[in-house]
A = this chain, B = another copy of it.
Amino acid sequence: MRISELSRRSGVPTATIKYYLREGLLPPGRATAATQAEYDETHLRRLRLVRALIGVRGLSVSATKDVLGAVAAHAGERHQVLGLVLGARPVDEDGEPAPAPGSADVDTLIGELGWQVSDHAPSRAVLGETLETLRSLGEEVSHEALLGYAALAERTAVLDLDQLDPHADPVDQAESALLRTVLLEPALLALRRLAQEHESARRNT
């Protein structure tokens, strides 16, 4: 199909599609001539995926590019992909591992839980920073509470992985995992909010 059909079927203006092509969010079509290119279903799917990541989850264009790049680079290594980027901190100038400043607290917690995660997982830093900020605002999260949250996170992760189709090919599986990891985030937070409202009402009897 040509760009106008891609646009019509996705609801995304052609100008925006061209923009995504320039930014590398969408692979170029197969050029048939100097001013003609052919797109297929994979482009359409990718475009919808990009829109979902940007629109539903609120990722920036560059973060979206990083995420998609990570999936492409590590497809087949599911756990790598799952631990990756996403919320992520900008990497060092030189694009290297990034020191992972992860506070001692976080390291201790992960050790206690027996979790095996790579040293430079950006989530370590996110976790550390968030807890540090809360502490500075006088809202320390106790170690026990943290263990409780971690246990629930672990069960959530089990649920996440149970939903992957083990027969799908690695690339599809990685993409599916990505989609569910990232796009379910707003849903999980919404569930928490609703549960809080319910629980709070319950306690106030």
Contact = CB atoms under 8 A, between A and B. Distances in A.
Interface of A: 45, 48-49, 52, 55-56, 58, 78-80, 82-83, 86-87, 110, 113, 115-118, 121, 123-124, 126-127, 129-131, 133-134, 136-137, 139, 141-142, 145, 148-150, 152-163, 176, 179-181, 183-204
Q: Which 6 A-B pairs have the closest CB atoms?
A: A83-B197, A79-B200, A153-B191, A157-B195, A123-B190, A115-B198
A118 B198 CA distance: 9
The interface residues of chain A, by DSSP majority, are classed as helix
Given A79-B197, A161-B200, A204-B79, A48 B136 contact: yes
B192 A134 contact: no
B161 A117 contact: no
Contacts of A142: 163
Given A52-B134, A78-B200, A134-B179, 19 more contacts: A79-B198, A82-B197, A83-B194, A83-B196, A87-B189, A110-B194, A115-B195, A116-B198, A118-B197, A121-B197, A137-B183, A141-B163, A141-B187, A149-B188, A152-B152, A152-B155, A152-B156, A161-B196, A181-B193
